[in-house]
Amino acid sequence: MSSRRDFLKITGLASVGAFTASSCKLQTQDKAKSVKTVRPIVVSTWKNGLHANKKAWEILSSGGRAIDAVEKGVMVVEADPDDITVGYGGLPDRDGFVTLDASIMDEKGNAGSVCALQNIMHPVSVARKVMEKTPHVMLAGEGALQFAVEQGFKEMNLLTEKAKKAWEKWKETSKYEPVINIENHDTIGMLAIDSAGNISGSCTTSGLAFKMHGRVGDSPIIGAGMYCDNEVGGAVATGMGELVMKTLGSFLVVELMRQGKSPQEAVEEAILRIVKKIPEYKKYQIGYLALDKNGNVGAYCLHKGFNYARYADNKSELIDADYYIKG
């Protein structure tokens, strides 16, 4: 019989498909080549991205800003108690504390983030306040909470009964296995381009289930879990954050696109970087999602099973990403 860990690795990896080209509008054309753009557009990681994108699309389709779309969009998932990897209802750390990481970036390159934040349902909104109201980029733990309360955020208990039960069950063995598995999916990273052509990004998570108290992942690290640059595009990451942090994945993807790679080529190269540099890569899942300034999307992951939600041209869809480890 296979171990629980193997079972989770296998069952956590669902259906597969290939990157699908979107219906595109020909916006500009010169004699040498056509440049197709899709605008507005929003993409986000995993199936729960469908709900988040719906909210983001309301904003984008009525002429709103990408920065508002990426904040309000992921807030839907942060408030969802059934999503056990983000915000309210997120699984706690090994000591029973729900600690949240989030980041946000706007089209001007402004960035804000919070890490190890407790008792606040919407860390992405606190991250936005850090970006807009402070001279800093990142606030951590107690300081982040103090700032959030000063800004009018309400404190609440984020540990739901369901998450508490899962933690109590985990404590029976207390096996610390930092493996991204079926229970640990659904961190949401979102990228949006508005009608004005501006890009913004966000990322929010409760991080790895039963992580060490104080552990911070890639999601709030600008350039690791999320990065965007209005000249080029953006990228977000999901999966075992330590691998993303070691390779500064989202920044890498954006820089590869800056050098002329397509979003798909860029995310594949970023996954290959992990394969080359991190010998134990097979034990973990990593998914990258990228959006260039023309609205082209790239998605790629280590193991079969990563998908992303795309909303453009009034159409919402869930698309399976291609993956590295085959056979």
Query: What minimum distance in Å lies between the beta carbon of 121 and ligand SD4?
Result: 18
Query: What minimum distance in Å lies between the beta carbon of 57 and ligand SD4?
Result: 22
274 touches 302 (CB < 8 A): yes
Query: What minimum distance in Å lies between the beta carbon of 116 and ligand SD4?
Result: 11
Candidates 16-24, 112-120, 145-153, 201-209 — which segment interacts with ligand SD4 by CB under 6 A? 201-209
Candidates 26-34, 59-67, 182-190, 312-320 — which segment interacts with ligand SD4 by CB under 6 A? 182-190
Residue 238 binding ligand SD4, by CB under 6 A: yes
DSSP code, position 232: T
Query: What minimum distance in Å lies between the beta carbon of 39 and ligand SD4?
Result: 27
The alpha carbon torsion through 298, 108, 146, 98 (nearest 10 deg) reads 0
28 is catalytic: no
Residues 208-237 that bind ligand SD4 (CB under 6 A): 208, 217-219, 225
| Alpha-carbon span 152 to 32, nearest angstrom | 54
Quick one: 250 or 296, whose CB is closer to ligand SD4?
Answer: 250
Task: Out of 53, 113, 118, 187, name the contact with ligand SD4 by CB under 6 A.
Answer: 187
| Alpha-carbon span 205 to 116, nearest angstrom | 10
Counting every residue, how long is the chain? 327
128 touches 71 (CB < 8 A): yes
35 touches 167 (CB < 8 A): no
| Alpha-carbon span 200 to 112, nearest angstrom | 12
| Alpha-carbon span 325 to 309, nearest angstrom | 22
Task: Out of 55, 185, 303, 310, name the contact with ligand SD4 by CB under 6 A.
Answer: 185
Strand order in the sheet with 138-140: 138-140, 111-117, 100-105, 199-205, 188-193, 41-45, 307-312, 315-320
Residue 271 binding ligand SD4, by CB under 6 A: no
Residues 241-260 that bind ligand SD4 (CB under 6 A): 241
Residue 48 binding ligand SD4, by CB under 6 A: no
Cα-Cα end-to-end distance for the chain: 21
DSSP code, position 166: H
Residue 85 binding ligand SD4, by CB under 6 A: yes
Query: What minimum distance in Å lies between the beta carbon of 216 and ligand SD4?
Result: 8
Catalytic residues: 187
Q: In the complex, which residues of this chain contact ligand SD4 (CB under 6 A)?
A: 85, 180, 184-187, 205, 207-208, 217-219, 225, 238-241
